[in-house]
Structure 1
Amino acid sequence: MTEYHVITRERHGHQHWLSQSGHRFAADDALCALVAQELPQAMLSLPIGFIVEAEQFMPVALQGLTPGQNLWVAADGRWLAAYIPAPYRCYPFRMAPTEQGEQVLCIDEASGLLSESAGEPFFNDDGTPGKAVLEILEFFNQIEANRQLTRSMCAVLQQHGLIQPWPITVQGEHGEQKVEGLFRIDEAALNALSAEALSEVRNAGGLTMAYCQLLSMQHLSTLGTLAQAHAEAEKARLAQESMAQKGELHLGFMNDSGTFSFGQ
């Protein structure tokens, strides 16, 4: 359970924070919002789609086949893909809107990463924000600025009819599973654009976004593989617990880190 609070001198003036050591905090996220700037890297390891957000399309990383499960997070908190979405690299921080509509920096006080002495200070002795906090705030500002550009790109793609529903069926732990509510680039419509329309899409940056999404679809089958691996690991864990209760202990199914692993 997260517990975000706005960072203030009154509340955090004498506190410190520690860097995250894993990604268990993201274990329930089946989707993660992306911005255009990170798509060229994200497409190399994550399947990307679009969702409707406030009547606009926005790109997301597909991380699970069912709500509440992120298949890219291993049981020990390791992130299993080569690319980590930008929001996860800022944890335990996030930006949140105030009642006045302003964005403020918050921290998850239930993260276990706050400290009275160890780690980075929130504020300097003179009451000014610490260097690391300012760097995180700047990173979030860059993400937000790029989010506005991302919305503009998606609007151009939508304007030219290049985004269509994406019916997904993958082989999961219980056989074929359907994932609904996602959208993808209509490749046929993209190839049929007039020279004028293609130029407009390209100048808006939409062409790069379109190809990133199309190329990322090759990773979709990996989610099915991960789902099966997670299910097998959970069965092994339950069997382990059952044997332990009976006074038996077999650890052969585990690797050196005490959890399952995936080939990379």
Structure 2
Amino acid sequence: MTRTHLKPLSFQRHGHMFWKRFTSFEHTRHVTECSVVEAEVFPVAASFPLVFRKTEGRVEPVAVFSLTEEAENPFVSETGGWLAPYLPSAMRCPPFDAEPMPRGGQVKDAQFQLLVDESLGLISDDPRDEAFYRETGALSSNLEAVMTFFQGRMSSAQTTKAICDVLVEMNLLDRLTQYESCILPRSCWGISTDRLNSLTNKQLATLTACGALRLVHAHQISLSHVAWLTQAQSRMTHNPGSKDAERKANAEGFLSALAEAQTSETSWGQNSEIHACAR
């Protein structure tokens, strides 16, 4: 996925500019998955299928929103609302994002560069909006809060990378093309149950100590969402007896009801270690 629309935050470029808080998820209508960090694996697993992707020589867990790569994100309503009970941390801070800048190869020394997405229409020259910087050149208080958010997320991302490295070293990942006869998007990977069950007590202890077993269990439980997500997307695209608007309304109602049921049954979504920052 291209990131050319993301520009590094700098006083030279953004010192006299302003930003708006996002009020709609319209910009995620064609986002079919997003990366997940270790701190949020339980609330993600309570809401979406959680699988693994191999990209650029590394493995990362991702939340799957759509089982059809060409389809729209079914968790975005017609009015731009978010229909799921949990919002992954990667989607909470438009127009901001971050990329790691590791120092010395140590997790505790992990640094990051804050990026600004200038393609979302959230950057302005209107002083009534949020300032990037104070007149002194220091970050504004609201931007400091954004930096704090990303500091926590990037730290958890480093932990997630270390966990995934262990899963790769133990050869626990297999191609995952379907689950209970439901087709998954291309290039998904999942935990091999056979290899997991064949691990020694020492290997299981290693998985537990580094937090990998927590991620493994979250992934396994999350696959139960594949069936109803398949059903929801089928309602949106394969109901020739209804008009498009009616099909979408029915699907939105279906997803909203599931979100309300999940929210009432679990507090995971409210207890995440990563909190919203820009909305």
Instruction: Tell me which stretches of 4 or more aligned residues in structure 1 moved more than 4 Å.
Output: 232-235, 252-255
Q: Does 1:77 align with 2:42?
A: no
Secondary structure at the aligned position of 2:243 is classed as helix
CA contact under 8 A between 1:233 and 1:260: conserved in structure 2?
Answer: no
Partner of 2:116: 107
- Looking at structure 2, the residues matched to 97 and 157 of structure 1 have their Cα atoms a distance apart, in angstroms, of 21
Alignment of 1:96-175 (within 5 A): 96=99, 103-115=112-124, 116-168=126-178
Q: SS at the partner of 1:79?
A: coil
TM-score normalised by length of structure 2: 0.76
Shift of 1:65: 2.1
In 2, the alpha carbon distance for the partners of 1:223 and 1:260 equals: 12
8 Å contact kept, 1:28–1:70: yes
Moved more, 160-169 or 78-87: 160-169
Letter of the structure 2 residue corresponding to residue 163 of structure 1? L
- 1:198 to partner: Cα distance: 0.8
Structure 1, unmatched stretches of 5+, are 239-251
1:217 is matched with: 223
Residue of structure 2 in register with 1:236 after alignment: 243
Deviation of 1:260 after TM superposition, in Å, equals: 4.5
Amino acid at match of 1:105: L
Aligned equivalent of 1:248: none
Residue 81 of structure 1 aligns with an amino acid whose one-letter code is A
What SS does the corresponding residue of 1:179 show, helix, strand or coil? coil
Look up the equivalent residue of 2:39 and give its one-letter code.
Answer: Q
Structure number with greater Rg is 1
Change (3 A) 1:233 1:121: farther
Name the CA distance, whole Å, in 1 between partners of 2:212 and 2:82.
29
Q: Deviations over 1:24-72 (max 9, x none)?
A: 2122222211111110111111110001122222101111123353222
Equivalent position amino acid for 2:185 in 1: V
Structure 1 length-normalised TM: 0.80
Separation (CA, whole Å) in 2 of partners of 1:189 and 1:232: 38
Aligned-partner residue type, residue 9 of structure 2: I
Does the CA-based 8 Å contact 2:236-2:247 persist in structure 1?
A: no
Corresponding residue of 1:206? 212
Deviation at 1:82, TM superposition (A): 0.9
Q: Could you tell me which residue of structure 2 aligns to residue 243 of structure 1? A: none
RMSD: 2.9
Aligned partner of 1:6 in structure 2 is: 8
Q: Indicate conservation of the 8 Å contact 2:179/2:226, yes or no.
A: no
* 2:216 aligned counterpart, secondary structure: helix
C-alpha distance in 1, partners of 2:211/2:100?
28
Matched residues, number: 241
Match of 2:69 in 1: 67
Mapped partners of 1:197, 1:122: distance in 2: 48
Distance 2:239 2:133 in 1: 43
Kept in 2: contact 1:165–1:181 (CA 8 A) = yes
Tell me how far 1:13 sits from its aligned partner: 2.4
